[in-house]
């Protein structure tokens, strides 16, 4: 019996001597995209057509030269059609905004408010093309008091892509099928809010179009998703703000080494019965390869086209207040 016990002890000792173990540390990289309204602008171009004169009693067109005197004349006219007409001074936007915060981060308690008058033939905007990335709009209203329709305005939606280096996986494995493919959509709807039978949509002839520009991973001077130097990328990357070359599009963004698409140069009327697909599921690609977007900007353009109506009286803005609401839908998601 004693010999058996000794043998068992020897076997256990031998087993313990050949045991191995390994300690391995795992790094976790986690990041999600952020998308938010970040800028807006407004202008009212100079009217090139003749003055519009109408009888304030009958509403018909009239000629002030037929009036015996100014006191008894019912014929009234719009402002002069030259550089000093000043209709742009009656249109302005109102906005409330705060500093951009990451998903889940508490937004600043203070919300700043601003009024911006319309530019005359060029946009006056809330933020410059460099600083809008740091702000997110909370409220936005366009207020038009000009005698004639003719306001043009835009909304920017900024997108910060996930800070994961997808392009490195493509380079290493040589496959463009096993990493996410990103597709973008831009939609817009308009709703007349009042119920007095006066439709702003119909009277103004408002139309819309959209553009999207993206700076993508693996292209240009800055190839990485961002990481710790995100602020430098936003402020210093020429793809994201105005630079002096011939590749700058209407958003002030260089598209020479990035992705760009649009709903078309021509404006289109709103489809009031359903969503307006301005950019329908467009792949974000460079050549034949899909590229993960680092930063993108949607720009939605809107224009009152009644300023060019055949009947001059139809170019006049109605005195009774009209209310309408435009809703935009912007998305950049992995797609298949």
The model's confidence at residue 173, banded by pLDDT at 50, 70 and 90, is low
Residues 67 and 296: their CA atoms lie apart, in Å, by 58
Closest residue by Cα to residue 128 from 205, 241, 267, 52: 241
pLDDT of the residue at 241: 40
- Does the pLDDT at position 131 exceed 80? no
The model's confidence at residue 117, banded by pLDDT at 50, 70 and 90, is very high
Residues 6+ positions from 121 with CB-CB distance below 8 Å: 43, 45, 46
- Does the pLDDT at position 4 exceed 80? no
For the ranges 109-113, 241-245, 303-307, the lowest mean pLDDT is seen at 241-245
The model's confidence at residue 133, banded by pLDDT at 50, 70 and 90, is confident
The separation between CA 260 and the C-alpha centre of its own chain, rounded to angstroms, equals 13
- Does the pLDDT at position 261 exceed 60? yes
pLDDT of the residue at 134: 83
Residues 93 and 145: their CA atoms lie apart, in Å, by 11
Task: Calculate mean pLDDT across residues 147-164.
Answer: 91
Residues 238 and 241: their CA atoms lie apart, in Å, by 6
In terms of phi and psi (left: phi > 0; alpha: psi -120 to 50; beta: otherwise), the region of 262 is beta
How deeply is 255 buried, as exposed, middle or buried, from its count of CB atoms within 10 A (0-12, 13-18, 19+)? middle
Strands annotated E in 103-234: 112-117, 124-125, 135-144, 151-160, 181-192, 206-216
- Does the pLDDT at position 1 exceed 50? no
Task: Calculate mean pLDDT across residues 189-196.
Answer: 84
- The answer to whether residue 5 sits within a structural domain is no
Task: Calculate mean pLDDT across residues 248-263.
Answer: 56
- The answer to whether residue 329 sits within a structural domain is yes
- The answer to whether residue 17 sits within a structural domain is no
pLDDT of the residue at 249: 41
Structure-block tokens of residue 244: 């002096």
The model's confidence at residue 51, banded by pLDDT at 50, 70 and 90, is confident
pLDDT of the residue at 251: 44
- Does the pLDDT at position 301 exceed 90? yes
Q: Determine the number of helices (DSSP H) and then strands (DSSP E) in the chain.
A: 4, 17
pLDDT of the residue at 58: 85
The model's confidence at residue 215, banded by pLDDT at 50, 70 and 90, is confident
Task: Calculate mean pLDDT across residues 250-262.
Answer: 57
- CA neighbours within 13 Å on the CB side: how many for 297? 26
Instruction: Domain count for the chain, please give it.
Output: 1
Is residue 189 within 8 Å of 179, Cβ to Cβ?
no
More confident residue, 142 or 11: 142
- The answer to whether residue 54 sits within a structural domain is no
pLDDT of the residue at 71: 76
The separation between CA 123 and the C-alpha centre of its own chain, rounded to angstroms, equals 15
Q: How many CB atoms lie within 10 A of CB 165?
A: 18
- The answer to whether residue 72 sits within a structural domain is no
The model's confidence at residue 222, banded by pLDDT at 50, 70 and 90, is low
Residues 6+ positions from 133 with CB-CB distance below 8 Å: 38, 100, 158, 160, 234, 240, 295
How deeply is 230 buried, as exposed, middle or buried, from its count of CB atoms within 10 A (0-12, 13-18, 19+)? middle
- The answer to whether residue 145 sits within a structural domain is yes
- The answer to whether residue 65 sits within a structural domain is no
Structural domain span for residue 329: 39-48+79-335
- Does the pLDDT at position 161 exceed 90? no
- pTM of the predicted model, to two decimals? 0.83
Q: How many CB atoms lie within 10 A of CB 135?
A: 20
Q: Which helix (H) or strand (E) holds 29?
A: none
Is residue 261 within 8 Å of 211, Cβ to Cβ?
yes
pLDDT of the residue at 15: 55
Sign of CA dihedral 306, 251, 290, 275: negative
- Does the pLDDT at position 335 exceed 80? no
- The answer to whether residue 33 sits within a structural domain is no
Which alpha helices (DSSP H) does the chain contain, by range? 2-17, 166-173, 200-204, 230-236
Cβ-count burial 56-71 (b if 16+ within 10 Å, e if not): eeeeeebeeeeeeeee
The model's confidence at residue 171, banded by pLDDT at 50, 70 and 90, is low
pLDDT of the residue at 104: 62
Is residue 334 within 8 Å of 161, Cβ to Cβ?
no
Residues 127 and 129: their CA atoms lie apart, in Å, by 7
């Amino acid at each position: 019996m004693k010999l058996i016990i000794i043998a068992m002890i020897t076997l256990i000792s031998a087993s313990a001597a050949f045991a191995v173990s390994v300690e391995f540390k795992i790094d976790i990289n986690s990041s999600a995209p952020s998308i938010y309204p970040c800028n807006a602008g407004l202008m009212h171009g100079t009217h090139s057509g003749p003055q519009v004169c109408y009888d304030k009693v009958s509403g018909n067109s009239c000629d002030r030269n037929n009036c015996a005197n100014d006191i008894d004349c019912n014929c009234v006219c719009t402002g002069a059609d030259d550089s000093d007409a000043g209709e742009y001074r009656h249109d302005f936007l109102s906005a409330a905004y705060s500093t951009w915060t990451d998903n889940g981060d508490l937004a600043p308690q203070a919300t700043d408010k601003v009024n911006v008058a319309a530019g005359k033939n060029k946009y006056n905007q809330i933020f410059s093309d460099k600083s809008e990335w740091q702000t997110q709009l909370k409220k936005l209203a366009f207020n038009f008091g000009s005698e004639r329709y003719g306001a043009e305005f835009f909304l920017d939606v900024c997108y910060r892509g996930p800070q994961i280096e997808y392009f490195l996986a493509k380079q290493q494995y040589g496959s463009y099928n096993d990493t996410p493919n990103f597709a973008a959509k831009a939609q817009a709807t308009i709703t007349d809010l009042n119920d007095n039978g006066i439709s702003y949509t119909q009277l103004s002839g408002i139309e819309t179009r959209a553009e999207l520009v993206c700076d993508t991973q693996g292209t240009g001077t800055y190839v990485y998703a961002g990481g710790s130097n995100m602020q430098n990328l936003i402020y210093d990357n020429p793809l994201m703000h105005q630079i002096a070359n011939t590749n700058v599009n209407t958003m002030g963004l260089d598209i020479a080494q990035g992705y760009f698409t649009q709903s078309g140069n021509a404006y289109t009327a709103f489809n009031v019965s359903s969503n307006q697909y301005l950019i329908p599921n467009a792949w974000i690609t460079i050549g034949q390869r899909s590229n993960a977007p680092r930063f993108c900007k949607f720009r939605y353009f809107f224009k009152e086209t009644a300023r060019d109506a055949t009947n001059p009286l139809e170019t006049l803005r109605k005195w009774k207040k009209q209310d309408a609401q435009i809703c935009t839908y912007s998305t950049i998601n992995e797609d298949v």
